[in-house]
Amino acid sequence: MKIAFIGLGNMGGGMAANLVKAGHRVNAFDLSTDALARALENGCATFTSVRDAVDGVDAVVSMLPNGSIVDSVFENDVLGYAPTGAVLLDCSTIDVDTARKVTADAVAAGYDMVDAPVSGGIAAANGGTLTFMVGGTDTAFARAEPILSAMGKAVIHAGGSGAGQAAKICNNMLLGASMIATCETFAMAEKLGLDLQTFYDISSKASGQNWSMTSYCPVPGVGPTSPADNDYQGGFATALMLKDLKLAIEAAQSVNADVPMGARAAELYAQFDADGKGGMDFSAIIQSLKN
């Protein structure tokens, strides 16, 4: 297939490269000349205009920073410029209402479209092992699935339009809260005099086991290799976790859902970000909890 990929940041660059590896022809666009240069090295054709990138393609994939940018790009540069036979896939993490609006606009213009946010972080984006949570009609999902499968290990149809975004923010609210609980537990275990590797060996096989501990341990030298072993660089930035938590809290308020743990996690990450730590991996919050 000929696929336009819009947004080549930390996640999008690796995703576009994996589409090329799967045999697709990729038209890549980003505002960054460095990102375009990397895309060219990875086998993409590069463009300095979204409208030129989407001309004549079979699909359009976007990975953009926020809902307002997604809405603007699709309204001004994709709808009416990509062929109406193209399937549209937005893999950004944005609010549910905007995802539904953009899809409704696309459908009104004659396109099939899905919202397909991802889980897995930069390493999974580069390795092609992302998990996609997809919202859209059965027809749109069937068309999008082969494209998403080239970039991930799991592609799950969450429901109708906006359901992918709803699943993503619920998942990341759980992740944010469970990471804080994991961090504070290791901090307390250390102050109680426990050897942290020994505590890991116990808790990872007991009822306290969770993904934040066994797959992404916030303690250097404990568990599988994680950003903690690289001075908390790379991985999933605190600023991005805070963005997702804010989206989750807004969504919770819109449906009158009570989320005290999610709300507290958002407060703690907001403070960590305000302390200048927004570029560090979100597991680095263990530093503030230890202090």
The catalytic residues are 168
Structure tokens of 108? 């009104």
Query: How far apart are alpha carbons 254 and 146 in whole angstroms?
Result: 33
Please, is 193 exposed, middle or buried when counting C-beta atoms within 10 Å of its C-beta (0-12, 13-18, 19+)?
Answer: exposed
Task: Using the structure block, give the residue that is written with the tokens 């020994």.
Answer: 198
| 260 within 8 A of 192, measured Cβ to Cβ | no
Helix (H) or strand (E) holding 178: helix 163-191
Separation of alpha carbons 54 and 81, rounded Å: 7
| Residue found under tokens 């309204």 | 75
67 close to 247: Cβ distance less than 8 angstroms: no
CA end-to-end span of the chain? 52
Measured in whole angstroms, the distance separating CA 29 from the mean position of its chain's CA atoms is 19
Length of the chain: 291
Nearest CA to 237 among 286, 285, 271, 287? 285
Strand ranges (DSSP E) for the chain?
Answer: 2-6, 25-29, 45-47, 59-62, 87-90, 112-115, 118-119, 130-135, 152-159
